[in-house]
Structures are given as C-alpha cells and as structure tokens.
Amino acid sequence: MLGRKSGSQASNSSQNVPQGQRALEVDASLQGNLVFKDEVNLHINGSFEGRLETKGDLLIGERAAVKANIVGERITISGSVNGDVTAATEIVLTATGKVVGDIRTPQLIAERGAVFHGMSRMLASQDKETSHRSVFFNLDEVSRYLSVETGLISEWVENGKLPGTREGQNWKFDKKKVDEWIANGRVI
C-alpha cells in the first residue's frame, strides 16, 4: 500500500518507545555490521556505514547519514540513506527523508517532500511471510552487502569458497547462507 501522511510521525526521542521494550539511541559515527537478533527500537541520529539488520522499530533521524543496506521490520527514514532498504512490515519516508537505493516492503508511506531515487517492490501478502526469511542477492547486491568487488565475489563463488547458485548466466546468493558463511569465519 502506497500512501502519504501529512504529519511527521518520526521522533528522535526514545521516550516514545512502548513500555517494556528496549530502545537504543545512537548519536555517533559508526562503521561495520550491526545485527540485532532480539527486538530493539533503534534510533540512528549520526552517521553509519556498513550493514544494518534489526527487529522492531528503526528510526533514521533527520541528522543521520547512512550508507548501508538495511533489513528490518518497521523502518522510518527522516534522514539520508544510501543503500537498499527491506522491511517486513512497512517503510515510512518522512518529509525530510531521502533514500537512494531500492525499497522492498508490503507498505510504503511517503510524506510530501520525501525523496526516493530507486526501484520499489511492494511485497504481496504471501511474500510478507517469507520477506524476512528468504532474501536473495544478485552478484552486485552481494558485492555491496559484503563490501567486496564483484570480480572477487565471482572468483570466490566459482571456486566454491562462497555459497551461491547459478541461474542461467547469473549468480544468486541466499542471504542466510552468506550470513552463515560470515559467522563461520569463512571470510577470505
């Protein structure tokens, strides 16, 4: 569902977090991979570069500059994001939000003034169930995800060092298998 909201719902304060839920507010410059396996309400107000995976609510604040592929449940973007964004439930682009990258979500809400440069894929209701479980990358996407040149990725997958499946002339990478490969310390 694509819609517009007239007022910004984004708040840079963890005071709006429902009672009993955890909140983490980051107002710093970070680089790397942030992966949250438990539900957390994450507010990013500084700069972040790398990979971001979260459960719960993610707020990219107005002052935030993020260069990352993001996977989450409910994502609100009020700052700048350069990378692909995938949400299991919804993505909200506030009036000050800017995304340069592709968006995948069952519900996209863009306020007047939001900037989006990329492609969007609205997940069908049957895709909602699998959106967080079955994420696949093409060669360029896994290259960005791992921050490694495509030539090296091709070499690794052709030599059996990186898990991938060939579909015709293209490679397909299951995100879960790539994450397991990283977790098992198989990064070359």
The alpha carbon dihedral of 84, 184, 23, 135 has a sign of positive
In terms of residue numbers, what domain contains 120?
Answer: 2-131
Asked if 46 and 112 sit in the same domain, the reply is yes
Asked if 70 and 151 sit in the same domain, the reply is no
Asked if 65 and 18 sit in the same domain, the reply is yes
- In 3D space, the residue among 48, 54, 52 whose CA is nearest the CA of residue 69 turns out to be 52
Asked if 118 and 153 sit in the same domain, the reply is no
In a domain, 188, yes or no: no
pLDDT tens sequence for the chain (188 residues): 444 443 333 333 444 444 455 556 666 677 777 787 778 888 898 899 988 888 889 999 999 999 999 999 999 999 999 999 999 889 999 999 999 999 999 999 999 999 999 998 887 644 444 445 568 888 888 888 888 888 888 898 888 888 888 888 888 888 888 877 877 766 55
Give the model's pLDDT for residue 11: 38
Domain boundary among 114, 131, 148: 131
Report the half-sphere exposure of 173 (CA within 13 A, side-chain side): 25
In a domain, 59, yes or no: yes
Query: d(Cα 29, Cα 116) in Å, to the nearest integer?
Result: 24
- In 3D space, the residue among 64, 72, 57 whose CA is nearest the CA of residue 16 turns out to be 57
Asked if 140 and 121 sit in the same domain, the reply is no
Asked if 36 and 77 sit in the same domain, the reply is yes
Query: d(Cα 97, Cα 51) in Å, to the nearest integer?
Result: 19
Give the model's pLDDT for residue 8: 35
Q: How many domains does the chain have?
A: 2
Pairing mode of beta strands 136-137, 170-174: antiparallel
Give the model's pLDDT for residue 19: 47
pTM to 2 decimal places: 0.58
Give the model's pLDDT for residue 128: 46
Give the model's pLDDT for residue 31: 79
Give the model's pLDDT for residue 21: 52
In a domain, 76, yes or no: yes
Give the model's pLDDT for residue 160: 86
Asked if 65 and 25 sit in the same domain, the reply is yes
Asked if 21 and 104 sit in the same domain, the reply is yes
Domain boundary among 96, 116, 131: 131
Asked if 86 and 170 sit in the same domain, the reply is no
The residue length of the chain stands at 188
Asked if 153 and 123 sit in the same domain, the reply is no
Give the model's pLDDT for residue 92: 96
In a domain, 101, yes or no: yes
In a domain, 112, yes or no: yes
Asked if 98 and 11 sit in the same domain, the reply is yes
In this structure, what CATH number is given to the domain that contains residue 164? 1.10.10
Give the model's pLDDT for residue 85: 93
Asked if 152 and 176 sit in the same domain, the reply is yes
Burial class (CB in 10 A: 0-12, 13-18, 19+), 151: exposed
Give the model's pLDDT for residue 22: 53
